[in-house]
Structures are given as C-alpha cells and as structure tokens.
Amino acid sequence: MTDIARTFQTAPAAVPRDNTAKYLDSALDSEGFACPDWLVPDLEDGTAPDMKAEALENVVDRLPEHADAFPGEIWPRVQWAYDDEGAREQGREEIRTLVEEVGEHIDGVVVPKVGRLADVKDAAGVVADAEREFGFADDAIGMAVIVETAAAKSDLREISLFGSNSRLDALVFGPVDYTAELGGRELDGERPEWGGLLEDLSNEASANDLVAIGGPYDRLFTERAGVTFYNGDGYADHVEREARVGLDGSWSLYPKQTIQANRIHMPTSDELARDVRKIEAFQEAKSGGTGAVTVEGQMVDEATFKNFVNTVETVRTIDERHPDQTGEAYEDELLERALTVDTTWE
Amino acid sequence: MTDIARTFQTAPAAVPRDNTAKYLDSALDSEGFACPDWLVPDLEDGTAPDMKAEALENVVDRLPEHADAFPGEIWPRVQWAYDDEGAREQGREEIRTLVEEVGEHIDGVVVPKVGRLADVKDAAGVVADAEREFGFADDAIGMAVIVETAAAKSDLREISLFGSNSRLDALVFGPVDYTAELGGRELDGERPEWGGLLEDLSNEASANDLVAIGGPYDRLFTERAGVTFYNGDGYADHVEREARVGLDGSWSLYPKQTIQANRIHMPTSDELARDVRKIEAFQEAKSGGTGAVTVEGQMVDEATFKNFVNTVETVRTIDERHPDQTGEAYEDELLERALTVDTTWE
Amino acid sequence: MTDIARTFQTAPAAVPRDNTAKYLDSALDSEGFACPDWLVPDLEDGTAPDMKAEALENVVDRLPEHADAFPGEIWPRVQWAYDDEGAREQGREEIRTLVEEVGEHIDGVVVPKVGRLADVKDAAGVVADAEREFGFADDAIGMAVIVETAAAKSDLREISLFGSNSRLDALVFGPVDYTAELGGRELDGERPEWGGLLEDLSNEASANDLVAIGGPYDRLFTERAGVTFYNGDGYADHVEREARVGLDGSWSLYPKQTIQANRIHMPTSDELARDVRKIEAFQEAKSGGTGAVTVEGQMVDEATFKNFVNTVETVRTIDERHPDQTGEAYEDELLERALTVDTTWE
C-alpha cells in the first residue's frame, strides 16, 4: 500500500517529437526532489487523440527496463468517462493491455471522469477481470479515481466507503473538468476554489484509509514587465492550501512543480524544529504529571501532541525512502533529534 | 425545459398602491437587459398578508394578456412552509387556482420553505393533482424549490436526485430564512456566506440536470456622505461570487439588479474574446498533433478546452433568444467569430 | 432541555496541585460573565493519565455540594475513542460512576472521539444502561458528542438524525484531533478553518433540534515586544466566526474566554438597538399594509423580520437566567424596549 503520495506527476505518454516518449523518459529518469512519489504516464487528456496507440506502446516499452530503478510508484492514467461509452471501451482495452504487458511494473491505474458509485465499481471490475485473466493476485493492481464530475462528488461518501475494502486506493481532484461540468467561471481573474469539496475529499479519504491528492495547477508560467517565468509562487500557494486541509499530495505537471510539492508536503525545517522541540518539552514537563501542559503559550493535550508526532512520523517515512531528500532539507542535528525523540504519549 | 435562468426576479403580486399590480405590470413590460429570464410574481413574503387574495387575482388577471409577449419564463411563487400546515393549505389553493386559470401561461411554480424530501414530494403531488384535474399533460407545469431550511439542506442530495426524473427543475437558495433558521448572525457588518452550501447546490443541480439560482441581496441601497444610492457594487460582487461556483442565475429584487445579473451571467467581452482566441489558437496548434498544447502559458487539454467552449455556447444561446443583448454586449466582429468558430475537440 | 449554551468551558478535574480540584472548584464558583452556560469537568485529555481516578473522585466529591448553586449546566467529559477499546472501557466505568454517584447533579455527559453512527449509539446505550441500573428516568441524562474524527464527520447527517429522537442533545467540534486525523497542517501560521464542516455542523444541529458548539482555541496567550498577554483578539475573532454561521456556543479553556464567548453569543448593544428599532419601524410601517417594507434601505419581509426577532428572543432568554448579565450589557431603556416590543409578524 501507498505510504507517501506527496506528488502525482502526469507525463504525456506520447508527444509529437522525434522521441515520442520524451516526457515519459525524463520523468522515469528524474532524481532528488524532482522525482515524484507517483509517476502517472498519461494516456488520457495529456495525449493527443491520434497518438493514443503510440502512447500505450511507449508505456509497455519503457516500464520493463526502467520501472524497477524508479524510486516512486507508477500509476498510468487510462481513458474513461461515465458519460461516454467510447471512452470506457478504450479504457477497458488499455487496462487489459497494461495488466497483461506490464502488470508487475505498475502499482495501479488512474481512472478519470468517473460518475456515481456504480461507474466506479464498473471500472474496478475491469481491473479485477484483467488480474484474473493474466494471473495476478486479487488486488495486486490498485485503482485511483479522479473526482471531477458532479455525479462523483454527489456520491463521494459512498465511493469512499467502497474504497475502504476494495482496490480503490486514492481520490484525486480534477478541478478543470469539474468547473466545466458545474458551469463555474473565472471572474476578475479568480477561479472557484472548491474549498468545501477539498474538505470533503480529505475527510472521506481519512475515514476510509485512502490517499487524497489535489488538482493540477495549469498556470505554469507568468509574465511581468516583458519577462515570462516559472510561476513558482502561484503553484506553492496552491499546494500549501491543499496541504493545510490534509491532502496527502498535489498534482504536478512539470518537474519544478514536483520539486515544490515534494518540499511542501514534507515538514519545513522550522516546523520540524518546532514540533521536535515541543515533543521534547512535553516529555520533560510530563514528569510533573499533568495532562494539560502549556508549551510556548499553547495547551498541549493528547490531541495536540498527536499533531506534533505526525510531523515527526512523516519525516521518518521520507527518510527511509529518500535519505537524500531529508539530508538536503534538514540540518543533521535536527534530523537526528527527529529520528530519535520519544513520541509516546503515556 | 429551461435553458437560460440568469435572472430570477421576484415582483410582489399586490402592493398597497392605486394599481396594486404596479410591480407585476412593470416587470411584464421590462425590456432589454432589464427583462429577467424568469419573472416570479410573488404571492409569498413579498405580498402583505391582507393582500394575498388580490395578489392571486392580479396574476390571474394579467398573465392572459401579457404572458405571450414576455420573452422570459413565468414562475409564480406560492405560499408553503414545511412546518406550517396553514401556509401549505394556502399554497395548495394557490397552485390549484394558478393551474386552472393561467396554467398555459406559466412555466412552473416556485415553492418556498420546503423541508425534507417527503415535503418536496408533497408539493410536487399538489402540482400533479392540479395538472390532472385541469387537463394538462403530465409535467407540463414545472416546480422550483427554495432551499432555505436546515431540513432541505440536510436532504439536498435526495431532493436533487428526485429532481432528476420529476417536475422539479430548479433549486433556489434562500439565505435570509436559512440564516434565521440556523441562528446565524451578522457581526462586524459581515454575514455568513454559506460557501459550502453554494458549492453543494451547484454540484447537486449539475449532477441531476437542474437549474441552480442564488439568493436575494437585500442591501438595495447604500449611503455615503449624505447621499443614498443604488448599491451596484455590493450586488455585482454577490452575483460574481455565485457565477464563479457555477450557479446558473441570481435572484433579483429590482430592475437594476436584473440588468446586472443578466450581464454578469453572460460572458464579458474580454472573456469571450479570450476564449474565442484560445479556441482558435488551439485549433491551429492541434494540427501539430499533441493533446497538451500550451496557449498563452496555459496547458490546454480536453477539459480546459471544454471551459472555453462553455463560454461560446452560452453566448450562442443568449443570442438566439435576445439578439439585442448580445448585440449590445459584444463588438460585431467578436460576436461573429463566437458564432462561427469550430468548437469540436477532435 | 438546554436553552442556552453560549459557553462550553472545560476544566481539568484533577491537576497536580495541593488542591487537585483547583480548576474545578474555581469554575463552580465563577460569577457574572465568567460563569459558563455549560461547565465540563474534564476526565479526558485535560487530565493526566495518572490522575484519572482522582479526577473522577473530585467530580463525585464536589458536585453534591456545589451543583445546585451553579447557575449553568454541568456536563462531565468522559474518556472514549471509536478506535480504542481501552478508552471506551474507561468511559463506560466513568459513566456508570457518574450516574450512580452524581446522576441528579449532572445534565449529561460529553463523549469525545466518536466514530460512525454505530459508535455513537453504543455510547448512548451505556448511558441508558446506567440510567436503568440506578433508577433514573429514561433520557434523564443527556449526551453530547465531540465531532473530531473523519468517521463522525462522514456520518454527521445520520448521527444528527439519531439525535432528533434520542438523548443526544449537542454536537461539539474538536478541531485539534480532527486536523491530526486528516493530516492537516499549519503553514505560514495559518491552520485549516474547516468552514465547510462548521456549516454542516450548524445545519444538522438546526435540522434536528440539537445544540452546536465550536472547538477550543488554544492560543491562549500571545507575545509582543517582550510582553506576553492574553490573546483576546484571537479568541474573539474565533468566536465571531462561529457565531456568524449559527453555532450556539463556543468552547472555552479559561475564564477570560468564557467572558468573551458569553458576550459574543449574546447580541451587542448596537445589534439589539438596531433590531429593536427595525422591529419598531416595521410595526409602524405595517399599518401601510405591504409585506415588503423598506427600513433603512433594507427590504423587510417575513424572513428578514424573523432575524430581528431572533435577536430579541435571545436577549429575553438570557435576561430570565442572568439578569446581571443583561443589566451589565444593555442600557436600561434599550433592555426595556427589547423586553416589551411587539414581535408578532401578522
């Protein structure tokens, strides 16, 4: 099961270049903070209609050689739409081919534009059939769905409950399709933020042990005084908003976005220092015997304490997988304290 | 079926003037941008208790002569309340009278203060009985409900699902009653914004092909330095917030509000120019063959593209019904491009 | 049944001082605006693990002598957690002891960290068993639950419906545990505000005649230029946000917080003056006979009117229980008008 999903980076699986797998190749070779926790070779909207076949071939061709060395998980996005039987038929074929040809190299498939619960179950059934046909264990291939239709949002609680005991592992938000379906508009440069939906997504994911991932941010570049440059502020604000409400990860369209989202979804050095310090101070004060210690003007009870421990545990998980990232992000002395501090409450 | 509902203008059906139908008459005669998509002759809170009978007479008297020439739809609001049998009894009588006397001149009835699903079904049953009794086809008379009670919000998903295959066509928000029922307060001049409710209303309407309309804005006038004037900024901000999350229309209490809401719920000239330009640029770039074209720093995939097309299609619908409005809002050359650009994705 | 719950003040039931009941004693002796509507002797997170037994003894010892003189309600918080059988076992014992020893002195028990509906029903069953065993009437002992898990939020509608005809009287928000469970983070000094959850809590409480109470604010003190002082601005903003969306009361950790929350959850002098004036103006204008009177630029219909009346009725309720508070908060002449103005609509 997935234990980190800070970044969900889609890469078009075929583009009209000499090397049509250019973006897929570079994502598979990414290193350090530019390496996504989830790489999503995109057979859906990121790939032009006339290149779908080549896109699938590229995935089938590249994964056997590169998947094992890739430190993250690999989740191809197939075609699907609750209101388009043609898209679903293509999706069924893509899932079959992926499971048959590279089933041992993928962690799951990402299914977009799902509708109500019945549609999600249909998609899960397609994966189950392919597992059986090609000799994989039950639930060997996971499934993530993109919540980007009014129907899926309406059934979010039921879909998530289904996820609590099925191959459904993750909920991903798709704001562009969602906004289009609801008829939302950008006015005065402001788009709807769908704050209620993000809360619900985070809640239902937590209630059912699913991963929750935010939506893409497509204002990749910005312009000022004649110069166009990477819109690092816009994306960071976007990711921070998602992290605040408890989404596990953010969608990335671009290596620089992956670097930022990987960074933001891990504790900052200040956060880690603060929470390690508070745990340490609490452990000292605890000897006094009260359950309501005040540390730096803040009451610390078991619930507050759990927040501090969450920070430390996230760092420990990342350190296990990517010691280069924790080594770069934190001072040695702080990291050492984080790895060794006593996080027990009683 | 309703295809535009930018404005839902209530007009008291009787007021204590020499001509008690003064507001109804002027609304039926409204022209240009002051003409609402939905005119709502109000038999409920807008009409004083001692004038209810005269209000109903005014509606029965005026519609036969004026309804055909009125370019919008006509939806009288009757009395009703989930927690007041007296109000429901009056509502039943009003629905019977309206269907019997002017059934061919109205598009539906607006039912306020509905409670849980069972109450909405009761109201729908009253309309069905009247249709049968007076020889109308099944579902000839539509129904809109005002979501303004905690019970209706609690059952919003179920009520909306009922709407997917019933005469229920529209969900309208009623913030004043809603705030009163929840005990919400205005503090430091700020009222609750009910952003979560608006998201849910827009979502459930979209999931079930219903129209979603925002709530009234009663700060009609504002005062500064001794002068009282129309609060055009306050209302425009209110309508923009509703448009952003995908509500189809806004409630109007006043002709100037109707002008503004009609304008805001149609694309601005800049929006239209931008989206037409992006569609045109995309159609050119598409020949290059990739599904992920970058236009003006923004990735354009099928989902993004659908947003641009929504803009163009709204303009085409309004142009068909109100060529005077599109003629006034857009330059001829831009309108021509909007009416002719190729909006197909593949 | 509870008719005011402006303040929900938790007090650790045992602390490591000479008098381990120090905080409980001072809360039971509180006076004026520092007296909470609900006093919550805390056996859960506010009391250290090694003092739980003494905490329960303190409650059993103090209530018989002080409860009758205390003007508010008394609701001890017991231990409980949907995912921890040990905590539930302790909670069952605590509920039994409380009902047996001081059942006639408490209004109910507060159950934290409940999960889905089944867990809430289990807790209610424990109270029912204790009532029977110790000879109390059915539903003599109320129950409040703290909504602070993803499971409880997911089932909020079902739990609240259960509350409409059971001993469940109140929903309290627990943001610290909730944020920890969802993995939410504080970034740039900003925490998630859970605005969607607060709207839902207020709605479901209103739909089922339950009391809704906000979460604790633990930034008790703030520091500036070398001086640490009570963070009265932070807490007041917090409480105002809760009052705006219709929560009935706020959580207090400290007597100064109780003073502020009691004040904010009653109408300000300006609000009361404004709403009394609007009711008076409306009653005069009503003689003109129209249902849509404009008072100070605002349309007044029955729904708007109900908002004004809510203000006056809250003041009347507080005046009945705490004439000292209304006497301190309002000028005599205004209070007199509030107590006598005609609040009937027709």
**Secondary structure class of C211 (helix, strand, coil):** strand
Which residues, listed in sequence order, are joined to residue A144 by a DSSP beta bridge? Answer: A110, A170
Smallest CA-to-CA distance from A195 within A208, A177, A210, A214 is with A214
Mutate to test the interface with A, among C43, C45, C114, C222 (most CBs of A within 10 A): C45
Q: What pLDDT does A296 receive?
A: 73
Q: What is the mean pLDDT of chain A?
A: 93
Yes or no, beta carbons of C289 and B223 under 8 Å apart: no
Q: What pLDDT does A283 receive?
A: 86
Set of chain A residues whose Cβ sits within 8 Å of the Cβ of C223? 297
CATH 3.20.20.60 domain residues, chain A? 7-264
Set of chain B residues whose Cβ sits within 8 Å of the Cβ of C203? 150, 153-154, 182, 197
Which distant-in-sequence residues (6+ apart) come within 8 Å of C2 by Cβ?
A: C38, C73, C107, C142, C169, C170, C211
pLDDT tens by residue, A15-36: 999 999 999 999 999 988 999 9
In this structure, the strands spanning C221-224 and C227-230 are: antiparallel
pLDDT above 60: residue B291? no
A7-264: CATH architecture:
Alpha-Beta Barrel (3.20)
Q: What pLDDT does B302 receive?
A: 76
Q: What pLDDT does C243 receive?
A: 96
pLDDT above 60: residue B47? yes
Set of chain B residues whose Cβ sits within 8 Å of the Cβ of A228? 297
Q: Cβ–Cβ contacts within 10 Å for residue C72, how many?
A: 23
**Whole-angstrom distance, CA of residue B93 vs CA of residue A268:** 66
pLDDT bin (cut points 50, 70, 90) of residue B50 is confident
Nearest to C346 among B12, B49, B194 (CB): B49
Range with top average pLDDT, B55-69, B286-300, B312-326, C215-229: B55-69
pLDDT tens by residue, A292-346: 677 776 767 777 788 899 889 989 988 988 888 999 999 999 999 999 999 998 7
Give the CA angle between residues A294, A298, A301 to the nearest 5°.
65
> From the CA of B314, how many Å to the nearest CA of chain A?
10
ipTM for the whole complex: 0.90
Strands (E), chain B: 7-12, 38-42, 73-74, 108-111, 142-147, 168-173, 211-213, 221-224, 227-230, 250-252, 293-295, 298-300
Nearest to A48 among B195, B245, B290 (CB): B290
Nearest to A15 among B206, B290, B299 (CB): B290
Give the CA radius of gyration of chain C: 21
Q: What is the mean pLDDT of chain B?
A: 93
pLDDT tens by residue, B193-236: 999 999 999 999 999 999 999 999 989 999 988 999 999 999 99
Yes or no, beta carbons of A289 and C190 under 8 Å apart: no
Yes or no, beta carbons of C298 and B186 under 8 Å apart: no
pLDDT bin (cut points 50, 70, 90) of residue A63 is very high
DSSP letter at C30? -
Partners of chain B (3+ Cβ pairs below 8 A):
A, C
Q: How far lies C328's CA from each of A267, B277, C200, C223, in Å?
A: 48, 65, 34, 31
- Where does residue B289 fall: left (phi above 0), alpha (psi -120 to 50 degrees), or beta otherwise? left
Yes or no, beta carbons of A303 and C154 under 8 Å apart: no
Residue by residue, pLDDT tens for chain C (346 residues) are 457 899 999 999 999 999 999 999 999 999 889 999 999 999 998 898 889 999 999 999 999 999 999 989 999 999 999 999 999 999 999 999 999 999 999 999 999 999 999 999 999 999 999 999 999 999 999 999 999 999 999 999 999 999 999 999 999 999 999 998 999 988 888 899 999 999 999 999 999 999 999 999 999 999 988 999 999 999 999 999 999 999 999 999 999 999 999 999 999 899 899 999 999 988 887 766 555 677 776 767 777 788 899 889 989 988 988 888 999 999 999 999 999 999 998 7
Which distant-in-sequence residues (6+ apart) come within 8 Å of B93 by Cβ?
A: none
Yes or no, beta carbons of B207 and A153 under 8 Å apart: yes
**Whole-angstrom distance, CA of residue A93 vs CA of residue B120:** 44
**For A224-248, what is the mean pLDDT?**
95
Yes or no, beta carbons of C188 and A294 under 8 Å apart: no
**For A100-114, what is the mean pLDDT?**
98
The percentage of chain A sitting over the pLDDT mark of 70, rounded to a whole number, equals: 97
In this complex, how many residue pairs, one in chain A and one in chain B, have their CB atoms less than 8 Å apart? Answer: 120
Which distant-in-sequence residues (6+ apart) come within 8 Å of B313 by Cβ?
A: B343
- Where does residue A34 fall: left (phi above 0), alpha (psi -120 to 50 degrees), or beta otherwise? alpha
Yes or no, beta carbons of A291 and C196 under 8 Å apart: no
Q: What pLDDT does B116 receive?
A: 98
Yes or no, beta carbons of C181 and A298 under 8 Å apart: no
Yes or no, beta carbons of C297 and B180 under 8 Å apart: no
In this complex, how many residue pairs, one in chain A and one in chain C, have their CB atoms less than 8 Å apart? Answer: 119
DSSP string, A213-226: E-----B-EEEETT
